[in-house]
């Protein structure tokens, strides 16, 4: 406990699943949390309050630059600083290039890729004022290999992977660490339908070298490490939480 004492963390996509797990864990570890999402955040805030944590919520479309400016302003107004950003919000539309609509492709990249860019763009100036910070960008194994996800999803997650390294290079001298996490198949609302489908479930289950799939807590624990001072010498790294998928 206390690994994030006196830190302030913005976590996007915190209304459920992976983001809610990250927000709850960060609050338990002492962070003042700003949980954002387009969906209701009542359950996340109730969980944090019941655990004795500190959090506020902001309705937030990560693809909107105006919304990002609002989130940053409300965070600074409430807590006075920003130490941590977890760009977690993301959507998945499973498709192939020849059958995908451009509208769907843009919808995915607007949220996943543009949302990550805008988050860093608006938060980094505040981190500079504090003398540093930690950014954790949630990518995917789909940002490294092409067999998981869809055309827009793979493109956006690959962009997050390289954008993370670019930011790590640009802002290391400002003591801002930027790392990416690459989950494999994680049991979450995003994969619930795929895991319930008899056609897709076997392939997903076989993606892990371990006799089980990942849980949202596995990703949250990885994000906690990268956001904490324990990772003070880690930047520009990509951490796979994938049950060995990329090793196979």
Residues 109 and 158: their CA atoms lie apart, in Å, by: 11
Query: How many Cβ atoms sit within 10 Å of the Cβ of residue 5?
Result: 11
pLDDT value for 24: 98
- Report the b/e string of 28-44 with b at 16+ CB within 10 A: bbebbbbbbbbeebeeb
* Domain count across the chain: 1
Query: At 232, which CATH number?
Result: 3.40.50.720
Instruction: Establish if 248 belongs to a structural domain.
Output: no
147-201 residue pLDDT tens? 877 999 999 999 999 999 999 999 999 999 999 999 999 998 878 877 787 778 8
Instruction: Establish if 21 belongs to a structural domain.
Output: yes
Of the candidates 148, 153, 212, 225, the residue annotated as catalytic is: 153
Encoded tokens for 65: 């630059």
Instruction: Establish if 246 belongs to a structural domain.
Output: no
Residues 135 and 210: their CA atoms lie apart, in Å, by: 29
Instruction: Establish if 1 belongs to a structural domain.
Output: no
Annotated active-site residue 153? The verdict is yes
User: pTM of the entire structure?
Assistant: 0.96
Residues 32 and 29: their CA atoms lie apart, in Å, by: 9
Residues 35 and 20: their CA atoms lie apart, in Å, by: 8
Greater confidence (2 vs 149) lies with: 2
């Amino acid at each position: 406990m206390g690994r994030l004492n006196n830190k302030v963390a913005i976590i996007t996509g915190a209304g459920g699943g992976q983001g809610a797990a990250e927000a709850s864990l960060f609050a338990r570890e002492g962070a003042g949390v700003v949980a954002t999402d387009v969906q209701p955040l009542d359950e996340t805030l109730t969980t944090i309050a019941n655990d004795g944590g500190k959090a506020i919520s902001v309705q937030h479309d990560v693809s909107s630059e105006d919304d990002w400016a609002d989130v940053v302003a409300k965070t600074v107004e409430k807590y006075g600083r920003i130490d941590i950003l977890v760009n977690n919000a993301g959507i998945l539309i499973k498709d192939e290039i020849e059958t995908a609509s451009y509208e769907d492709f843009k919808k995915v990249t607007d949220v996943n890729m543009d949302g990550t860019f805008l988050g860093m763009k608006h938060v980094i100036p505040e981190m500079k004022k504090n003398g540093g910070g930690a950014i954790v960008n949630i990518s995917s194994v789909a940002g490294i290999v092409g067999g998981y996800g869809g055309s827009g999803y793979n493109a956006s997650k690959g962009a997050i992977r390289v954008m993370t390294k670019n930011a790590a290079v640009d802002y290391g001298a400002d003591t801002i660490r930027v790392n990416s996490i690459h989950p494999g198949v994680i049991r979450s609302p995003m994969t619930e339908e795929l895991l319930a489908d008899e056609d897709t479930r076997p392939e997903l289950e076989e993606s892990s070298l371990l006799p089980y799939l990942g849980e949202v807590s596995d990703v949250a624990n990885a994000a906690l490490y990268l956001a904490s001072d324990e990772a003070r010498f880690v930047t520009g790294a990509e951490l796979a939480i994938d049950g060995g998928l990329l090793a196979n």
